């Protein structure tokens, strides 16, 4: 039997073992695999995450998190499902913040640009500190958005906040007690409901649906079993 060259042997277990980094979760140190997301690190460390997990794709905004990297004093914000862990990183998920959400019936607003001041009277008190913009993980110019809302440029607000995921990280940092995301949500909803021209063909189709044009067809679809549905869909393709 030939001699085994132990010097050049590959240690499979060693090769397959993930490289670990040390992170601090809510003040306690854990070793977690390098390159995983902050959310996965929480799971890996056995943390019970019963709030703050939704899409895992950067869309729902549920996983708002504060973090700090090694040797940097600045505490930053991120969406935990979108941020990879680094050695020496510290992080904690952000608890829900009790921001006041105005209640309104959008269809009944008579002068929505003025109504903003009744619904969110703190909005014009923005002191330009820019903390909201710095806190936003979606790199939205939140401060600018608040000002545009106050000056009635709801169209610009609706476009600027298109990527807002409602994580709420811009709210606790505001020294004027404004909830910039909710002000922007109001402006965007108003823009859609009151100031954007309705697409003619969409209006037409909505009316057809309301008038019951597709009622019988819908009833037929609802009675189909899975095979029948698959057959009809294949024929449509
Ligand atoms: S605007 Fe506020 S709520 Fe929206 S993504 Fe940015 S920080 Fe989150
Ligand atoms: S954090 Fe508040 S006060 Fe500061 S810029 Fe944003 S909205 Fe204005
Ligand atoms: S879990 Fe939805 S944005 Fe992170």
What is the model's pLDDT at position 179? 98
At residue 125 the predicted structure's pLDDT band, cuts being 50, 70 and 90, is very high
What is the model's pLDDT at position 1? 54
Q: Are strands 76-79 and 64-68 parallel, antiparallel or unpaired?
A: antiparallel
At residue 13 the predicted structure's pLDDT band, cuts being 50, 70 and 90, is confident
Tell me if 140 CB under 6 Å of ligand 1. yes
Walk across the sheet containing 90-93 and list its strands: 28-33, 20-25, 90-93, 64-68, 76-79
- Residues lining ligand 2, judged by CB closer than 6 Å? 126-132, 142-143, 146, 173-176, 178, 180
Walk me through the domains of the chain, giving residue ranges and CATH numbers. 6-93 (3.10.20.740), 106-195 (1.10.1060.10), 200-236 (no CATH)
Tell me if 126 CB under 6 Å of ligand 1. no
Give the global pTM: 0.82
**What mean pLDDT, rounded, does the chain reach?**
93
Atom number, ligand 3, closest to the C-alpha of residue 56: 1
What is the model's pLDDT at position 21? 97
Q: Quote the CA–CA distance of 48 and 14 in Å, as a whole number.
A: 30
Q: Are strands 76-79 and 90-93 parallel, antiparallel or unpaired?
A: unpaired
- Pull the structure tokens for residue 20: 């670990």
Instruction: Say whether pLDDT at 15 is over 80.
Output: no
Q: Convert the pLDDT of each residue in 16-61 to its tens digit.
A: 778 999 999 988 999 999 999 999 999 999 988 877 788 999 999 9
Instruction: Say whether pLDDT at 236 is over 90.
Output: no
The stretch 119-135 carries a mean pLDDT of 98
Atom number, ligand 3, closest to the C-alpha of residue 63: 4
Nearest protein Cα to ligand 3, atom 3 = 58
Provide the Cα torsion 44, 96, 78, 18; round to 10°: 0
Phi, psi of 117 (to 5 degrees): -75, -25
Atom number, ligand 1, closest to the C-alpha of residue 167: 8
Q: Convert the pLDDT of each residue in 136-192 to its tens digit.
A: 999 999 999 999 999 999 999 999 999 999 999 999 999 999 999 999 999 999 999
Residue 93 pairs in a beta bridge with 65
Provide the Cα torsion 74, 77, 80, 85; round to 10°: -20
Q: Convert the pLDDT of each residue in 62-89 to its tens digit.
A: 999 999 999 999 999 999 999 999 999 9
Quick check: 94 and 66 in contact, CB under 8 A? yes
């Amino acid at each position: 039997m030939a001699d085994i060259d132990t010097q050049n042997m590959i240690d499979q277990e060693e090769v397959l073992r993930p490289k670990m980094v040390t992170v601090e979760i809510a003040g306690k140190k854990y070793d977690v695999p390098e390159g995983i997301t902050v959310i996965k690190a929480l799971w890996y460390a056995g943390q019970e995450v019963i709030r703050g997990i939704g899409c895992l794709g950067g869309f729902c905004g549920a996983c708002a998190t504060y973090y700090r990297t090694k040797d940097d004093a600045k505490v930053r914000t991120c969406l935990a499902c979108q941020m990879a862990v680094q050695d020496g990183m510290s992080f904690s998920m952000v608890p829900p913040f009790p921001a006041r959400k105005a209640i309104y019936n959008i269809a009944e607003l008579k002068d929505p640009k003025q109504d903003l001041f009744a619904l969110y009277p703190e909005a014009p008190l923005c002191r330009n500190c820019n903390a909201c913009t710095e806190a936003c993980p979606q790199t939205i110019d939140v401060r600018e958005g608040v000002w545009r809302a106050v000056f009635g440029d709801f169209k610009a607000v609706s476009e600027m906040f298109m990527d807002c995921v409602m994580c709420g990280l811009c709210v606790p940092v505001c020294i004027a007690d404004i909830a910039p995301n909710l002000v922007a949500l109001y402006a965007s909803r108003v823009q859609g409901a009151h100031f954007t021209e309705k697409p003619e063909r969409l209006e037409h189709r909505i009316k057809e649906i309301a008038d019951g044009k597709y009622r019988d067809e819908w009833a037929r679809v609802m009675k189909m079993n899975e095979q029948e549905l698959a057959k009809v869909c294949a024929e449509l393709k």
